[in-house]
Amino acid sequence: MVEPLTLLVDRLQTPIGELLIVADSAGKLRTIDWTDHEARMRQLLDRYYGPKESKRGGYALQPARDPGGLTSAMRAYFKGDIGAIDRLPVDDTVGTPFQRSVWRALRKIKSGKTISYAELAQRIGKPKAVRAAGLANGQNPISIVVPCHRVIGSNGTLTGYGGGLPRKKWLLEHEGALTAKLS
């Protein structure tokens, strides 16, 4: 039996809800999600690491304060240091090669900017894979830091965000990316 992966979890109160920040024992960011979506986060962890006591070893969540300085960085972001998330190292997370290519492209979207799903597909060299890029965007395990919220509809409308459209709108306003057209 493989030992379970110990994952450290901290909680951060933000202007748009409580955030769960999950890191491994080395301080590597594994996932971020909202507490009102904790069940979804656990499903994601089960899928990638296996449930506790599985053949893959599974994972065990352990409360921790500011694992790897990640909570401090997220706090700084919400207090106005938008670049704090850009300075966080994000290794390729668990996912398919296609998903990881989408997630790497998301990290390259500058704060204060948005792109369309079509542009996202073009940036990964798969211009016809707009829907697939959108699905991968929606399965991003490290929201905010891997800024899936910066992807909008081709017509400039806010579309889908796992944390809900009001949060997406707030994040884009916070980063200075929301224009009158999107309001």
Residues designated as active site = 148
Question: In the chain, what are the helix, strand and coil shares in percent, each to the nearest 5?
Answer: 40, 20, 40
CA distance 108 to 60: 32
**Which residue has 């070893």 as its token pair?**
57
3-class secondary-structure state, position 60: strand
CA distance 27 to 61: 14
Is the Cβ–Cβ distance between 62 and 8 less than 8 Å? yes
Residue with tokens 């069940």: 39
> What kind and span of H or E run contains 23?
strand 17-24
Buried-exposed string 111-139: b where 16+ CB fall within 10 A, e elsewhere: beebbbbbbbbbbbeeeebbebbbebbeb
